[in-house]
Amino acid sequence: MKFGKSGVLGLLTLLLLIGLGIFFSKNYFRLFSDDPMIVITNQVGDTANMGRASPKLNEQGMLLEVLGSKDSGCPPDTVLNEQQLLNLPQQTFKTSHTWSKEPQTFSGPLLEDVLKYVCPDKKFIKLHLRALDGYAIDLNFPAVQKYRPIVALTVNGEGMKIRDKGHLWVMAPLDDFNIPERSLDELLIWQLNQISVNLTE
């Protein structure tokens, strides 16, 4: 069989394209396939499995409830106000993200620091984050350490109303990571109001 120069070139191009395809699809799915660090457990509108709304959160300035399971190293029920969140070391970063054309600057404490503050005796591994609209995810602690999400209190220096995805919006310095666009979006909960902390199973 004769195999001309252009045949060889065509074959090489085909191999290159297949290789690239495999490389990109692998990269895309790696985040969630090996070890699902982030799992959506409740879509907006699902009423099953809704966390109980804490009456304490209605009090002035009370923004975030942290529920500790038995032996998690966290008290059963802690309610944090804005000042307590502002008293923790503040992180500020500018990043592009899905919900804005221009990069924006986010400020707030690291989620990890919030957990350390509430649970000095840290033994937790599994987190369950929940928002006012019912959206919820399970999050493994390694994802928190890897992507360094903050509990943002301000965007471009301004506090957020509930209608602007406030009062608390989980945001990560996305531009620091070489990851596919939107691949961490499910971590970026807005209207965050409750964190449940569980000991590893």
Ligand X SMILES: Nc1nc2c(c(=O)[nH]1)N[C@H]1C(S)=C(S)[C@@H](COP(=O)(O)O)O[C@H]1N2
Which residues inside 167-186 make contact with Mo ion, applying CB under 5 A?
186
Least Cβ distance, residue 42 to Mo ion (angstroms): 12
Query: Is residue 185 close enough to count as binding ligand X by CB under 6 A?
Result: yes
Query: Is residue 40 close enough to count as binding ligand X by CB under 6 A?
Result: yes
Query: Is residue 106 close enough to count as binding ligand X by CB under 6 A?
Result: no
Query: Cis peptide before 167, with omega less than 30 degrees from 0?
Result: yes
- 64, 160, 162, 159: which is closest to 115 by C-alpha? 64
Least Cβ distance, residue 21 to ligand X (angstroms): 24
* Nearest residue (CB) to ligand X, 71 versus 175: 175
Residue owning tokens 């085909």 = 14
- 137, 91, 147: which is closest to 114 by C-alpha? 91
Residue 189 interacting entry, from Mo ion, ligand X, none, C-beta within 5 to 8 Å by type: ligand X
Where are the alpha helices (H) located in 48-150, listed in sequence order? 82-87, 111-118, 141-147
List contacts with ligand X (CB under 6 A): 40, 44, 131, 133, 135, 185-186, 188-191
